[in-house]
Structures are given as C-alpha cells and as structure tokens.
A and B are shown apart, each in its own frame.
Chain A
Amino acid sequence: MNQIKTLSWAVILAFLIVGVSCKGKKKVTDITDKEQVKEEIAQAIEDEKKPEIEKKEEPLEVAKSEKLNQYFSSISQASNASKANADISQTLSMFSSSDALVLIEIYSLDGTVDYDEPTTISKYLNYLKDTNKKSDKVQEIIYDDNGKIKELVLRKSF
C-alpha cells in the first residue's frame, strides 16, 4: 500500500515537471507568436503608408532591375573571362561596395521564406561567370542614401 502511494506521488511529481516544461515552452511560443503578430501589424501599417511613394519610384525600380538582369545575363553568357570581368566591373559600380549583401530565396509561400547561404555581390557575379548559369530573378533592391544598391534579394531559378 505504501509502495503504491510512493509510486503515485512520484508519477504525479514527474507529470508536474513535464507539464511545467511544456508550459514554459508554450510561453516562449506565445511570446514568439505575439511578437510575430506585432511585426505583421507594423509591416501592414508601413505598407499602407508606402503606396504613393512606391508608385513614383516604380519605373526607376523596374529600369534598375532590368539593367541588373541584363548585366547578369551578359556575365553568364560572356564568351571569355575578360569580357565577363569587364561586365562585372560595370555591374559593381551600381553597388555601394563589392561586399553588398545578396540574399537568394529558394522557397517562398505564406510568409515562410527559405534562403540559400547569404553571399556578396562580388562573389555572386563571379559565380555567374564560373558556372555560366541563367541568373536568378531580381526580387528586391535596397538602396543606400547615395542611391547605390546596398542589398539585393534574388529569387532562385532552378
């Protein structure tokens, strides 16, 4: 009888410990969810403010995006290394530095975005030269105060 009592208490205690750790993790999840919701609301407010400004910038954005795509194709299809290197130099002049960040999306759906390993524009352009691959699509361009590209987001084309 005593043994059963002791065992029951041990079981209840174990249950409590597991329950507390679950609750603790759930609390972290709750906080993460709340933070995520706050971020989404903040982003939505930002997005509402942007439309007029974005409309004015759109043609310029498209022009730069197309120019970048043209440079990428030219590098990738260059008949020799010298031509490719010349195109790389020209492309780099659009960027704030050769270490400007390049993020490449490999998957995007319902707010979930997966990236390849972050790289720099210099490494990415040399990658196009080395592999002669079809370039990834320009998704987003982020400029610095001097109008140079400081960050580029591409969409991977497999």
Chain B
Amino acid sequence: MKNSIYLIIAVLFFTSLSVGAQTDYISPKRKQAIDSLALEKVRDLSKYISIIGDKKTPFSEANRVMDRAEELFAVDSEMGVSSLSTEEISYYKVRDYFQRLMALSYDKVNIEWYDIHYISDLVQQPDGKFVGVITIYQKFEGTTEDGLSYKDTTKKDITIYVEKKKTQIAGRSITFWDVLLGDIRVTETTI
C-alpha cells in the first residue's frame, strides 16, 4: 500500500516537471545561427570603438556611432579599462567609456580587436535565455604629434545574453533574437 502511494507521488512529481518545461526546441543549425549573430554583434562593437576612438571621425558621426554602440549593451553594463602603468583596472558605464575614448588627448588613436571567439558557448538557461562568454584581444596605440606613443594589448571577456523577444511594429507582432552585451572585463594587459 505504502509503495503504491510513493509511486503515485513520484508520477505526479515528474508530470509537473514536464508541464513546467516550456522552452522551444532549438536545432543545432538554428543554434549556430544564434551563435553567429552574437559573435557578429561583438565584431560590430569593435568597428564602432575604432570609429569613436579615431581622431579623424567628425564629432556628429562619433556621437551617432556611440548611440549605435550603446544599443548593443544591456542596461548598466560596464567596460573595463587597464594601463601598463598601473595594476588597477577601472570600470566605466559604457557611455562614459565611449566619451572618454573620444576625449583621449592623443593626436592619433588606433584600436583593433582580433581573435574574437567564444570561451564559453551560449547555453540555454531554464528561463529560455542564452548566456555565454566571448573573449577578444585589443591592440591600442595612441600617438602624439611630438612622437610620444603608448601601446598595449589587452585581453577582455564579454558576457553575452541572447533572448527571444516580441515587438509590435505597425500593428504586427514580430519575434526576434535580442543579443545584449554585458560587462566587459579585463583579464590580461601586456605590451
């Protein structure tokens, strides 16, 4: 009798689990498309940062690009900034970081991101969102008219969030994958 009761309770328990699991099935090819989309957003950010930092970029264009770059991020995300002259790493809200980048007192600034790849694959969480980590290497070079220059190479890790969202446009409901970048943390700074 007791065994029957335990069996019924176990059946109920597993039934409730299957009811709770409402996430869509994502095929490997579909997941690959989502992975590629997220990677592309990081590459886009690298282009925007190059444009913002470039002293040749007109002020109005730099502002426009800052708006586009900021849209890539989740609210309150921060960017890590390091220097060879100190072990301290500073973190700024992304808009602040872009403003500071634009205001650097070099006459020429060159920023390049490379070796952009996943170090932690996008994994679907119980709430349906995907979370992963992409790492990048950044080469920074700032030069003054006097010929003084500063160069460094930094390794940074970017937390990536991907979520399926719905929006209303002209009375239509459109579902899309929303990729948002989280904090960008410095993990290494070298010459």
Contacts and interface: CB of A to CB of B under 8 A. Distances in A.
Interface of A: 4, 7-8, 11, 14-15, 18, 21-22, 25, 81, 101, 103, 106-107, 109, 112, 114-118, 123, 126-127, 130-132, 156, 158
B148 interface: no
Most B C-beta atoms less than 10 A away, residue of A7, A21, A116, A127: A116
B48 A106 contact: no
Given A7-B5, A107-B33, 4 more contacts: A106-B36, A114-B176, A117-B176, A126-B64
A50 B174 CA distance: 24
Nearest to B46: A131
Given A106-B34, A106-B36, A118-B167, A18 B12 contact: yes
Contact of A118 (B16, B48, B65, B176): B176
B51 interface: yes
A18 B15 contact: yes
Nearest to A12: B8
Given A103-B174, A117-B176, A8 B5 contact: yes
Interface in B1-37: 1, 5, 8-9, 12, 15-16, 19, 27, 29-30, 33-34, 36-37
Nearest to B30: A107
B100 interface: no
B155 interface: no
* Interface size bracket, B side: 35 or more
Interface of B: 1, 5, 8-9, 12, 15-16, 19, 27, 29-30, 33-34, 36-37, 40, 43-44, 47-48, 51, 58, 61, 64-65, 68, 167, 169-170, 174-179
A109 B30 CA distance: 9
The 4 closest A-B pairs by CB, nearest first: A107-B33, A115-B176, A158-B36, A106-B33
A21 B33 contact: no
A116 B177 CA distance: 6
B12 A11 contact: yes
A47 to B, nearest CB: 19
A103 B177 CA distance: 12
Nearest to B35: A158
B54 to A, nearest CB: 11
Given A11-B8, A81-B61, A158-B40, A114 B19 contact: no
A106 B37 contact: yes
Contact of A101 (B33, B68, B170): B170
Nearest to B48: A130
Contacts of B58: 81
A24 to B, nearest CB: 10
Nearest to B177: A114
A77 to B, nearest CB: 15
A115 B16 contact: no
A9 B27 CA distance: 42
A123 B68 CA distance: 9
